[in-house]
Structure 1
């Protein structure tokens, strides 16, 4: 299974460019879900959401739609993964689990200043929920400090079944092209300029080839985060077209 989408959907620059002019804001998710089968929720990174928000989002999307959930920055950036139990409980109790079968992987993005600490990571991985209502829960980790080039890092992810995010960051942060779990998680932040530049046909061809190869043995989730100039939905459509069944 391959799912292609965007990171977030509420962006003013998309209005009148990707979204039709005059489209009510509350219909933007439904519009996006008519073209893609998944989206990465960014709002959960910045603040706890309410259960009614998750229920509303679920009602606006098709039955086979999937939401990837970005983990709380309070856990990753403020507490820096230390003593996560209470914060993680509050995060999960905010309503995210009400998505049921529409709940996809959790994305945990670490700050650029957080160094590789195997004990810290192992403790964090140990408290992550792995199932809910009989369905498995998946987790992906995006790192940004060069210390994660440590040869112990990827085996640690494999040991705990955590996906290493394959992130294209326009050479701004560390980029690890490795798959460490039973699924692959790809984040495309910009080809030449972080969050801004679009992807060329040649770049999209390369990413399509990688994703096609990974999908032979595992599920793949890929999200475009180059949202500043409405490039993300354009590039996501172009990548999805390359990966569509013949």
Structure 2
């Protein structure tokens, strides 16, 4: 099953593109969770919320909602994976407040952090077996057999990443779930993705993961509501390809070609199978 969402939900320029003009911002999460079955909490990277905030997110979302959470930059960018015990413990103490809504934890490494498989191994061993972890290295020195073996040993996913409609990571399968982040497309208006690029990612996921293996897909190209529009278009293409896809806002009957309209992303949700956090 493909779970499709966006990296965050609180963007001011989504008002009137996705959120009704008069909807208070304090109700945006509820509005989002009625239309999407998953979100990646990107702002936890910059400032890790208190546990009470995670508990509140659980109380405000449907039973089948899935929350992926980006690891605090204190571990990845300040400590640079050194002495990971306290940062990981603090992160888990807070993030587990979301309860059964907790999806994968994303560990995004700095672009200037060179490969250190031993440090990555020491970090990943601190996560309990029931918490899925995806790792997004960004320095090319990580693309080695040693890195791949560490990910496979801990059943952690290599987070596939796209920028300008091209993969910027190897397309390794390292465990029984997938994780894809789409940062910036090449279509107009910027930073939208074109139909061909989205269809290629649908095909790659379908060829790599089986029907019983979840693949989490998050659009991080938020300016101008591009992430919402592209998530809708991606989900529509995946359904046409016979994939099981979590709920997304409906497109108009004419399909992807009309997915860029405000009416399309404000429409009611397209039905999808129960998502939950598999």
TM-score (norm 1): 0.90
- Coordinate RMSD, CA, aligned: 1.9
Deviation at 1:171, TM superposition (A): 7.4
Q: How far did 1:181 drift? A: 0.9
CA drift at 1:220: 0.6
Alignment-derived partner of residue 110 in structure 1: 109
| Distance in 1 (alpha carbons) for counterparts of 2:149 and 2:6 | 29
Give the CA deviation at 1:156: 2.2
TM-superposed deviation, 1:155: 2.3
Partner of 2:191: 197
1:133 match: none
Q: Are 2:7 and 1:7 equivalent residues in the alignment?
A: yes
> Compared with structure 1, are the counterparts of its residues 83 and 171 closer, same or farther at alpha carbon in structure 2 (3 Å cutoff)?
farther
Task: Report if aligned partners of 1:30, 1:60 keep a CA contact under 8 Å in 2.
Answer: yes
Residue 179 of structure 1 corresponds to which residue in structure 2?
173
Structure 1, unpaired ranges of 5+ = 131-135
C-alpha displacement at 1:172, in angstroms?
9.0
1:142 aligns with 2:136: yes
Q: Does the 8 Å contact 1:146/1:174 carry over to 2?
A: no
Which stretches in structure 2 are left out of the alignment for 5+ residues?
244-278
Q: State the Cα distance separating 1:91 from its structure 2 match.
A: 1.6
Trace 1:1-246 onto structure 2 (pairs within 5 A): 1-94=1-94, 96-130=95-129, 136-170=130-164, 174-192=168-186, 197-213=191-207, 214-216=209-211, 218-244=213-239
Pick 1 or 2: higher relative contact order, CA cutoff 8 A, min separation 6: 2
TM-score (norm 2): 0.80
Equivalent residues of 2:2, 2:214 under 8 A apart: yes
Asked if 1 retains the 8 angstrom alpha-carbon contact of 2:58 and 2:99, the reply is no
CA distance in structure 2 between the partners assigned to 1:35 and 1:237 by the alignment: 10
- Partner of 1:113, secondary structure, is coil
Q: CA deviation at 1:157?
A: 1.0
